């Protein structure tokens, strides 16, 4: 590796060890309860939308409660929408009055969030929308309104610099919507030029040398961000799947339905087995409260991780594409250990595995600490002595201590 590649790998090490984070979409759109795109999709006039700031006075906002919930869920970092596409800022800004600090709430929610993350030992992430519907020039585009577009880009740069100057060391800066498919198909390979992203990223790297940047500024960044999908094959470089806990919206939407805990753990384990991070979104209500169904599921995920977290945190993808999946579940690896995440329970008490050519020195059922017998029969590893009923729900994990790093064997 080159020195720059070594530095990048060192910079991302905590991130790939963490594997699991909380995404938070919250702002004026929470008052409407129809998702974060309501201003755009419903063509709400600017004056009408701005008036919502006079009503935005979250009575029960408690960033410390958010951070405690994230920690209890087994999450290692948080990413807050400091400003979404609607232009409303959850931080104090000298470049606009359309902020939580200068309107009815009278609070810098970003400052409270940062303090809460640090108090719980969680890494701090900022989501920041590149586009801003508060600027008419955004809808005109740079060709039709170059002067207005230049002001929009300056605003984007200035506010990004505020965020990365006023709150100390920040771990993640999460750009969004630079190459906007909703705007004339986007700009393709000209995206970074349209937003002067090279200039801003150079400033960020100098101001916050250890920060991680995603790939939505028009430049590659430190990690890619597949959205609402879990890759089942390895991705080039570091990746993080961002996924909603409900089936449709990122922002608060009381009519939306929540995925059950089985589905969330299925997504988490699939993402980690593919070598990625899982950024799971919550949409607090207008008062700043994370809805009860979200809390219930997060606590259940956290309980599962307390028993089985070593199969998730700091694991690496070693097996080739699709080879991390066997008839009963998925495989993750770490050092000389392999973890069999059992989604299906065998009534025979015997688990058959054909993916590994290693010898197994010891097998343990993580939920109970029970040691299991292992023997090789030709190409198969047979793990015997599993109890009749699964000791944990929804998934169980068998830890295999191998004779070396996991080595795959194929059918042919």
Neighbour count for residue 161 (Cβ, 10 Å): 15
Report residue 62 CA to chain centroid gap.
21
Which residue, among 50, 46, 42, 35, has the nearest Cα to 81 in the 3D structure?
Answer: 35
pLDDT in the model for residue 3? 46
Q: Are 79 and 21 in contact (CB under 8 A)?
A: yes
pLDDT in the model for residue 322? 64
The span from the CA of 402 to the CA of 357, in Å, is 10
The span from the CA of 390 to the CA of 128, in Å, is 43
Neighbour count for residue 181 (Cβ, 10 Å): 8
- Which residues, 6+ apart, have CB-to-CB distance to 253 below 8 Å? 33, 34, 35, 246, 283
pLDDT in the model for residue 10? 86
Q: CA angle, corner 208, sides to 283 and 215, nearest 5?
A: 55
Q: Are 239 and 225 in contact (CB under 8 A)?
A: yes
Q: What is the pLDDT of residues 77-96, one digit of tens each?
A: 999 999 999 999 999 999 99
pLDDT in the model for residue 123? 98
Regions in the chain scoring below 70 on pLDDT: 1-8, 181-185, 322-325, 411-412
Which residue, among 73, 150, 79, 72, has the nearest Cα to 114 in the 3D structure?
Answer: 79
pLDDT in the model for residue 236? 82
* Burial environment of residue 95 by CB neighbours within 10 A (0 to 12, 13 to 18, 19 or more): middle
Q: What is the pLDDT of residues 35-75, one digit of tens each?
A: 999 999 999 999 999 999 999 999 999 999 999 999 999 99
Q: What is the CA radius of gyration of the chain?
A: 23
Burial 316-332 (b: 16+ CB within 10 A, else e): ebbbeeebbbbebbbbb
pLDDT in the model for residue 231? 87
What domains are defined for the chain? 3-311 (3.20.20.80), 325-402 (2.60.40.1180)
Q: At what angle do helices 292-308 and 63-72 cross, to 10 degrees?
A: 40
- Which residues, 6+ apart, have CB-to-CB distance to 71 below 8 Å? 120, 121, 122
């Amino acid at each position: 590796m080159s020195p720059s590649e070594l530095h990048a790998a060192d910079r991302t090490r905590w991130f790939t060890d963490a594997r699991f984070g909380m995404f938070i979409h919250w702002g004026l759109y929470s008052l409407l309860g129809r998702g974060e795109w309501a201003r755009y999709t419903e063509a709400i006039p600017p004056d009408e939308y701005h008036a919502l700031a006079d009503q935005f006075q979250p009575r029960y906002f408690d960033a410390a409660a958010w951070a405690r919930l994230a920690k209890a869920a087994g999450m290692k970092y948080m990413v807050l929408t400091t400003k979404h596409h609607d232009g409303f800022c959850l931080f104090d800004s000298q470049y606009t009055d359309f902020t939580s600090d200068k309107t009815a709430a009278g609070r810098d929610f970003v400052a409270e969030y940062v303090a809460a993350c640090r108090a719980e030992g969680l890494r701090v992430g900022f989501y920041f929308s590149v586009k801003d519907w508060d600027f008419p020039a955004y809808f005109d585009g740079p060709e039709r309104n170059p002067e207005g577009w230049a002001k929009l880009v300056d605003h984007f740069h200035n506010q990004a610099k505020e965020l990365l100057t006023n709150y100390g060391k920040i771990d993640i800066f999460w750009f969004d919507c630079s190459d906007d498919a909703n705007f004339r198909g986007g700009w393709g390979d000209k995206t970074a030029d349209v937003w002067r992203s090279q200039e801003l990223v150079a400033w960020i790297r100098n101001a916050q040398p250890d920060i991680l940047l995603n790939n939505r500024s028009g430049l590659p960044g430190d990690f890619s961000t597949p959205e609402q999908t879990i890759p089942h094959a390895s991705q080039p470089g570091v990746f993080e799947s961002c996924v909603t806990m409900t089936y449709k919206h990122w922002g608060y939407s009381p009519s939306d339905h929540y995925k059950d805990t089985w589905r969330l753990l299925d997504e988490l384990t699939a993402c980690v087995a593919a070598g990625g991070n899982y950024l799971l979104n919550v949409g607090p209500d207008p008062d700043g409260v994370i809805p009860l169904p979200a809390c219930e599921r997060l606590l259940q995920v956290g309980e599962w991780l307390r028993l089985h977290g070593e199969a998730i945190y700091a694991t690496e993808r070693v097996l080739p594409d699709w080879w991390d999946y066997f008839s009963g579940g998925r495989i993750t690896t770490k050092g000389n250990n392999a973890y069999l995440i059992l989604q299906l329970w065998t009534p025979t008490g015997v688990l058959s595995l054909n993916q590994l050519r290693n010898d197994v020195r010891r097998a343990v059922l993580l939920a109970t600490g029970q040691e299991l017998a292992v023997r090789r029969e030709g190409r198969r590893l047979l793990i015997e002595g599993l109890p009749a009923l699964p000791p944990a729900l929804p998934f169980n994990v068998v830890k295999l201590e191998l004779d070396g790093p996991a080595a795959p064997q194929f059918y042919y």
